[in-house]
Amino acid sequence: MKKLKILLLTVFAVVAIQSVYGQAQIAIGLKGGLNFASMTGSTSLSSAYNNRTGYHYGAYVLFKFTKIGLQPEILFSKQGQKFTVNSQNYESNFDYISIPVILKLYLAGGLNLQAGPQFSFLASAKGDVINTSTNGVSTGQDLKNFANSSDVSIALGAGWDLPFGLNIAARYNIGISDVNKQTGTVNPALVSSMGTTQSKNQVIQVSVGYRLFKLGN
């Protein structure tokens, strides 16, 4: 948490200085869209995780310096995964507060390439728990004790800034930290998303944004 605060303060300090002396354009807006989320790895009871559809929404600030932009965001992001055991479908739901810090390289006509780190903090984790002794299933159980409270991803993608303040983007968020706090069998049950030695978030995001206002040229 301390490192994240230092990083964000540094980013905003640099951008503030450059905005004064470098004629930066500053825009503030809202965005939202769909998540196609899963995790790497496979559970002890099934062959692999499957995608589940969620959503994200939040706000962004864009600091644009001609061909380069820096876009910090704060998002609520609903993620998780689905999996199948004995032909039955189960799922886990992980809700995060995410802070992407995205570098944008502008091409022609508002098209841009995007890349940057994303720091996420677990808001809630609920899912199906399978008892390995009885094969009974409890749905909607709290999984926060079995999941790490923070997550780090690398976001890669592309976007298009359209006229009249609209923008669209698609990103692939590649998890680089382990979701699991505890792994394997948790007596007497196996928690659905914690049945591997390591699990990492993998999320495809498709977003639509709208610029509320803009300062600068």
- Report the predicted TM-score, pTM, of the whole model to 2 decimal places: 0.80
Cα gap 190→69, rounded to integer Å = 45
Radius of gyration, CA atoms only, the chain = 19
Which candidate, 216, 145, 217, 134, places its Cα nearest to that of 183? 145
Higher pLDDT, 49 or 120: 120
CATH number among 2.40.160.20, 2.60.40.10, 2.40.110.10, 2.60.40.1510, domain 25-215: 2.40.160.20
pLDDT of residue 192: 47
Cβ atoms of residues 74 and 99 within 8 Å: yes
Tokens for 138, please give them: 């409890």
Confidence class of residue 171 from pLDDT cuts 50, 70 and 90? very high
Q: Is the pLDDT of residue 14 over 70?
A: no
Q: Which of 35-44, 77-86, 113-122 has the lowest mean pLDDT?
A: 35-44
Q: Is the pLDDT of residue 140 over 80?
A: no
Higher pLDDT, 209 or 1: 209
pLDDT of residue 21: 45
Query: What secondary structure does DSSP assign to 155-210, as a single string?
Result: EEEEEEE-GGGEEEEEEEEEE-S--BSS-S-BTTEEEGGGSSS---EEEEEEEEEE
Cα gap 17→194, rounded to integer Å = 45
Cα gap 75→13, rounded to integer Å = 22
- Mean pLDDT across the stretch 2-20? 53
Looking at mean pLDDT, say which of 75-89, 112-126, 196-210 comes out highest: 112-126
DSSP structural state of residue 23: T
Beta bridge partners of 77: 56, 96
Which residues fall within 8 angstroms of residue 125, CB to CB, at 6 or more apart?
92, 93, 94, 95, 142, 143, 144, 146, 147, 193
Q: Is the pLDDT of residue 5 over 60?
A: no
Cα gap 114→168, rounded to integer Å = 12
Confidence class of residue 76 from pLDDT cuts 50, 70 and 90? very high
| Amino acid at site 27 | A
Q: Which residue has the tokens 């990103």?
A: 171
pLDDT of residue 13: 52
Cα gap 204→136, rounded to integer Å = 32
Q: Is the pLDDT of residue 8 over 60?
A: no
